Amino acid sequence: MSIIALQDVHKIYPLGQTEVRAVNGVSFEIERGDFISIAGPSGSGKSTILNMIGCIDTPTEGTVLIEGQATGGLTDREITGLRHRFIGFIFQSFNLVPVLNVFENVEFPLLLGKETATKSERREYVDFLIEEVGLSDWRDHRPNELSGGQRQRVAIARALVTKPQVVLADEPTANLDSKTGNAIIELMKRVNRDLDTTFIFSTHDPSIVDIADHVIRLQDGLVIENRRKSPAHEGQ
Amino acid sequence: MPILFRIALRNLIEHRGKTLIIGILVALGVVVLIVGNSLMDTAREGIARAFIDNYTGDIMISGTAEGPISLFGVQSVGGIDPTPVLPAYADIVEIVEQTESIDRWTTQITGFGFMRPEDERIDGISNSVLTVLFGSESESYHELFDNVRIIEGRYLEPGEQGLMISTDRAEELEEEAIEALADEDIEVDSYPITVGEEIRIIGLTSDGLPSIRVVPIVAIYETIGISEGVGFELVSYIDPQTLRAILRLNLGRSAEIELDDSQTELLDRSGDDDLFNVDDLFGDDALAESDDSSEAESFDFEGFGEIDDEPEESIATEDAEAAALAEGVDPRLASQTWHYVLASVENPRRITATIEELNTAFDEAGIDAQAGNWEVAAGPFATTADVIRTVFNVAIIVIGIVAVIIMMNTLVISVMERTSEIGTMRALGAQRRFVWKMFMYETLAITTVFGLLGVATALGIIGILHWIGIPATNTFLTVLFAGPELKPVASAVSILGGLIIVSVIGLIAHIYPVSVALRIQPIRAIQTD
C-alpha cells in the first residue's frame, strides 16, 4: 500500500475577482522509503502539493490519503497530531526558532508531544542527530550564528527527530550555493537510505532532480511526468 | 527550565524594545496604584483617627431625621433642619450601658452661633465670630476625647455656665473686636481675650429666630490631634444648659411659643434686605428703639431669647437639672435632653457589630434612634477621602484603558513579526494550546519581573515620602491629610491589589494579540520570510 496518495486533487486560490488554479487534478502515489523529487518551474504547483501532503493546506477538491486515511475530515487538533507524528518539515528559509540554540531547535518537536523518552534518552538521540548532520561543534549556537547550509542541516535534524514516516522539503537548496545544496541533498539521501525515511522534496534545479529515484514533474498544476528510476539506474 | 519558559524569557530579551514598552507600563501602573492607594489609605486612616479620637468616637447615636445626621446636625438642602433630640434618652443610656463592647460614652448637643465680647462699646454682629457650639458634659467628654490642651483657665464644672474657646477663636475675637471699636472711632492696639471675659453668643436656630446668651470664658485651649481646616478650629465648648437654652431644647414639642407683636411682625417681613440685614436685627438701633414697635427695625431683642425671658417650662427643666446635679447625679443623666451619645468600643474590630447590636436594640425597644460609625458622625468631611479615591479610581480606569490599548498594539505588532515562527511551530506539531501558553508565560514573566520592579520602586517612593512627609500646603490638603503633613505607609493590601490589577490589565491586553496568534495557520510558516 502506498504511504501517500493524491486522488484528483485541485487547489484554487481566490485572487481578487478572479481565481488562480494552482493544482488542476493531480493524482499520484508515493511508496514508503521513496526519495522523490517534485520538479517544475515556478508556479507549477510544487509547493502547493507539498503543503497539501504535509497537511498545512487543504485541497479545494479531491482527496489526500495518508496511510490510507483521508485527511479532509480531520479536526485541527487531529491534523496537528498527525503532522507531529508522521511528517517532518524542511523549509526553504530554514524556519528555525531564533531564540533556541541548535540542540534546542532539534529537540523542540519532541517537546510538543507526549513524553515517550527520558530526558537522557532524548538528549542522546538529539546529539546523535546533530552529529549525523555534522554540527556537533555548533550544538550550543543560535541560528543567527550559523551559515545557511548549517541552518538547513539543523532543519534536517529537527525534521528527523520525531522519527517521521515522511520528510517534506520545499526547495531545501533554494537559499544555498550549489556546493552546499548538493551536500544537503546528499545528506538527505543518506538519511533516506540509513533510516528508510521517505523524502519528498520540491526543486526546480535539474541537477538535483536527477538525484531522486522518483521524479514527478509538474507544469501549470498538472503532472506531466511521473517517472520511477529503475534499480539499475539508481546506482549511477 | 521548561521549553515554554525558555522561549518566553528569551523572546522577551530578544524583543527588548517592545518588552521595555510593556514592562515600563506595567511597572508604572504598579507604582501609581501602590503609591496612590497608600496615599489614599493613609489619608483616610488619618481622617478616621482624627475624627474618632478627637470628636466622633467609634459610634454616634442620634435621633432620626429626613436628611443624614452628622455631628454638625442634619444635612439638608436649603435651610437648617433642627437636629432631633434623642428620644427616650434614659432607655438609650440603659441600652448603651448594657452593651458590653462599649468602653466609654459621653453626650453632646451641637449648635451654631456668632460670638463677640460683651462690651457696651461694640454692637451688631458684623464683627462677630462664627463658632460651632459643642455642649457636653465636660468630664466624660474630655475623658473620651483628648483633643484640647488648656492654655489658660480650666475645664467646665458640672452645672457651671461658661465657654471654652480655642486660641483660634480667641484671636478672631480679638481681631474683630479691634475692628469693631475702630468702626466706632475707638483706636486700641490690642483687645486681649482672657478667661473671665464675658462673651455674647447669638445662637442660630432652626426656626430662624436668634437667641442670645452671655457667658464667661472659663478656658482658652489649643486643639491637639487635629489640625486647622477640618472645621474643628471653629468649635467652642459651652455648658449644655446654656446651649439648650440657646437652642430652646427644653421646650416640649407641644409647647407653644408666645410671640409678642414685634416678634410676629418680624416673621411677617418679606423683603430680602429686611430678612438678611443682620446688623439691623442686632445693631444698637434695633436694640434701642424698642418704643416704636410699628417699625421693622424697632424690634426689641432685649426681651427676646434672653435668660430672663425664657419660658417657664424651660426654666423649670433647667432648675430640675441643677437640682439633680446638686444631688450628685451623673451629669450625663441630670438632663434627658441631648442630641448625641458618643461612644468608644474596646475592640475596634467590634465597631460594626456593636452598631448593629445597638440598632437592633433600638428597633426592638421602639426607640426612634440610630447608631452609626465615625463616617456618619463626620458627615461631609468623611466623604472627602472617598471622593478623592473615586476620582483616583476613575483616573486609574482611564489610564488602564490607555495602557491596555498601547500594550495590545505593541503585542499585535510582536505577534505579526513572529507569524513565521508561530506558523513553523504549528507545522511542527504545536497545538493551539501550546501557542496560547507561550504567550501567557510571556505575560506572566513580564508582569512578574516588571511588577516586582514596580513594587520596589513604589516602596522606595513611599519610603522617601514617609521620611520627608508631604506638606499640606492648603486647607483642602489639610482636610485630606487630616493634619499638616502626610506620611504615607504602604499596606500589603495595596501592594497585592496593585499587582493583581496590573496583571489583569496585562491579561486583558493579551486577549486580542493571543487570539491573532491562535489564528495563525501552519502554512504561514512558508508564506512569510
Considering only residues A68 and B286, tell me which one the structure prediction assigns the higher pLDDT: A68
**In contact, B459 and A103? CB cutoff 8 Å:** no
Distance CA A183, CA A192 (A): 14
**CB B287: neighbour CB atoms within 10 A?**
16
Residues 115-154 of A with CB under 8 A from B: none
Read off the C-alpha cell for B262: 414685634
Q: Do B14 and A162 touch (CB under 8 A)?
A: no
Q: Do B429 and A170 touch (CB under 8 A)?
A: no
Question: Considering only CA atoms, which of B321, B319, B339 is closest in space to residue B330?
Answer: B321
Please report, for residues A30, A89, B339, B522, B529, the alpha-carbon distance to residue B424 in angstroms, rounded to integers and kept in the order given.
Answer: 25, 9, 78, 6, 12
Question: Considering only CA atoms, which of B160, B156, B152, B154 is closest in space to residue B139?
Answer: B156
Read off the C-alpha cell for A221: 498544476
d(CA A17, nearest CA chain B) in Å? 21
Nearest Cβ partner for B525 among A80, A91, A111: A91
**In contact, B209 and B262? CB cutoff 8 Å:** no
**In contact, B338 and B60? CB cutoff 8 Å:** no
Question: Considering only CA atoms, which of B231, B149, B221, B229 is closest in space to residue B471?
Answer: B229
Residues of A in contact with B428 (CB under 8 A): 83-84, 89, 108-109, 112, 158
Contact of B426 with chain A, judged by CB distance below 8 Å, is answered with yes
Write down the pLDDT at residue B54.
Answer: 83
- Specify the DSSP class assigned to residue A1: -
Write down the pLDDT at residue B312.
Answer: 64
Residue B308: partners with Cβ closer than 8 Å, 6 or more residues away: none
Please report, for residues A81, B296, B524, the alpha-carbon distance to residue A85 in angstroms, rounded to integers and kept in the order given.
Answer: 6, 106, 20
Distance CA A95, CA B526 (A): 8
Distance CA B60, CA B374 (A): 7
β-pair partners for B113? B131, B203
Question: Testing the interface with B: which of A97, A104, A114, A152 to mutate, by most B Cβ within 10 A?
Answer: A97
Contact of A54 with chain B, judged by CB distance below 8 Å, is answered with yes
Look-up: residue for cell 505575560? B443
List the A166-170 sheet strands across, edge first.
A87-90, A166-170, A198-203, A35-39, A214-219, A222-228
Contact of A104 with chain B, judged by CB distance below 8 Å, is answered with yes
Residues of B in contact with A112 (CB under 8 A): 425, 428-431, 434
Q: Do A98 and B428 touch (CB under 8 A)?
A: no
Write down the pLDDT at residue B380.
Answer: 76
Q: Give residue-wise pLDDT tens across range A121-156.
A: 889 999 998 988 889 999 999 999 999 889 988 998
Nearest Cβ partner for A83 among B11, B13, B429: B429
Q: Do A93 and B14 touch (CB under 8 A)?
A: no
Residues of B in contact with A57 (CB under 8 A): 523
Contact of B12 with chain A, judged by CB distance below 8 Å, is answered with no
Contact of A113 with chain B, judged by CB distance below 8 Å, is answered with yes
Distance CA B237, CA B166 (A): 9
> b or e along B210-220 (b: 16 or more beta carbons within 10 Å of the residue's beta carbon)?
bbbbebebbbb
Residues of A in contact with B424 (CB under 8 A): 89, 91, 95, 97
Q: CA of A92: which chain B residue's CA is closest?
A: B526
Q: What angle do CA A190, A34, A11 make, to 5 degrees?
A: 125
Question: Considering only CA atoms, which of B522, B325, B356, B491 is closest in space to residue B423?
Answer: B522
| Helix (H/G/I), strand (E/B), else coil: A12 | strand
Write down the pLDDT at residue A230.
Answer: 63
Residues of B in contact with A93 (CB under 8 A): 420, 526, 529
Its pTM stands at 0.68
List chain B pLDDT tens, one digit each, 529 residues.
Answer: 688 888 888 988 888 888 898 899 889 888 988 888 888 888 888 778 878 888 889 999 999 988 889 888 887 766 567 889 999 899 999 999 999 999 999 999 999 899 999 888 887 777 889 999 999 988 888 888 888 889 999 999 888 899 999 998 999 999 999 998 888 888 888 888 999 999 999 888 777 777 889 999 999 998 876 655 556 778 899 999 899 888 888 764 333 444 455 545 544 444 444 444 444 444 444 343 333 333 333 334 443 444 445 566 666 667 777 777 777 778 888 888 999 999 999 888 899 999 999 999 999 999 999 999 988 888 877 777 778 778 888 988 888 888 888 888 888 888 888 888 899 999 999 999 999 988 888 888 888 889 899 999 999 999 999 999 888 887 677 767 767 788 888 888 888 888 888 888 888 888 899 999 998 888 877 764 4
Q: CA of B13: which chain A residue's CA is closest?
A: A99
**In contact, B427 and B525? CB cutoff 8 Å:** yes
- Specify the DSSP class assigned to residue A218: E
- Specify the DSSP class assigned to residue A45: S
Q: Do A112 and B431 touch (CB under 8 A)?
A: yes
Distance CA B180, CA B176 (A): 6
Q: Do A56 and B10 touch (CB under 8 A)?
A: no
Residues of B in contact with A143 (CB under 8 A): none
Q: Do A83 and B526 touch (CB under 8 A)?
A: no
DSSP codes joined into one string, B239-258: -HHHHHHHHTTTS-TTPPPP
Residues of B in contact with A77 (CB under 8 A): 431
Residues of A in contact with B521 (CB under 8 A): 56
ipTM: 0.90
Strands A198-203 and A18-30 come out as unpaired
Q: Residue A39 — very low, low, confident or very high, per pLDDT cuts 50/70/90?
A: very high
